[in-house]
């Protein structure tokens, strides 16, 4: 199996704020990033989009895929940090249709009701993580914009 791995280290004013990696191959890239807790929020979405942009431009990536570990499978910090919604707000969507539909519904509830708790999404996400069908993907171009 052919595969490529690129490590990512992100700093701001020479202070490390995140690390991660990408595995680009034939237009698809598995991607993951871990932003250190003190730097979450604020510019973290901008940082992630910048990393995606670099991979897209350098390696002609059309589709990014996030594996379940990034949002909580065997990674309690990923679950507790809200990584599910971090990736969702960046345009990533669950590949499993049922989880996709629940996530869209919960996101709409969160928009309409400030302080709304995403209990259903957490339960669905945990089920998807257990079944290992929780891959997420994000397409570039018109297909990525249609759902927003």
pLDDT, tens digit, for every residue of 115-143? 776 655 565 555 554 444 455 566 654 34
Residue 75 domain flag: yes
CA distances, 25 to each of 19, 22, 55, 67 (Å): 20, 10, 11, 15
pLDDT in tens, the chain (148 residues): 567 888 888 888 899 999 998 998 888 888 888 888 888 887 888 888 888 888 899 999 888 888 877 777 777 777 777 788 888 888 888 887 877 787 788 888 888 887 776 655 565 555 554 444 455 566 654 344 333 3
Q: Is 71 part of any domain? A: yes
Q: Looking at the domain assignment, is residue 48 inside a domain?
A: yes
Using CA atoms, how far apart are residues 132 and 52, in angstroms rounded to an integer?
Answer: 24
Question: Any idea what the CATH number is for the domain that residue 79 is in?
Answer: 3.40.630.30
Boundaries of domain holding 88: 6-95+134-141
φ, ψ for residue 58, nearest 5 deg = -75, -30
Residue 30, domain member (yes or no): yes
When divided into structural domains, the chain yields a total of 1
The answer to whether position 129 is within a domain reads no
Q: Tell me, yes or no, whether 146 lies in a domain.
A: no
Position 147 in a domain: no
């Amino acid at each position: 199996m052919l595969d490529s791995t690129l490590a990512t280290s992100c700093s701001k004013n020479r202070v490390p704020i995140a690390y991660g990696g990408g595995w680009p191959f034939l237009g698809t890239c598995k991607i993951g990033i871990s932003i250190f807790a003190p730097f979450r929020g604020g510019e973290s979405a901008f940082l992630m989009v910048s990393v995606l942009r670099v991979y897209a431009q350098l390696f002609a990536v059309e589709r990014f895929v996030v594996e379940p570990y990034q949002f909580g499978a065997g990674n309690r910090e990923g679950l507790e940090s809200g990584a599910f919604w971090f990736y969702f707000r960046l345009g990533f969507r669950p590949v499993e249709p049922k989880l996709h539909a629940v996530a869209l519904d919960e996101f709409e509830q969160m928009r309409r009701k400030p302080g709304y708790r995403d209990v259903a999404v957490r339960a669905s996400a945990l089920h998807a993580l257990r079944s290992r069908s929780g891959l997420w993907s994000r397409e570039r171009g018109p297909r990525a914009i249609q759902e927003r």
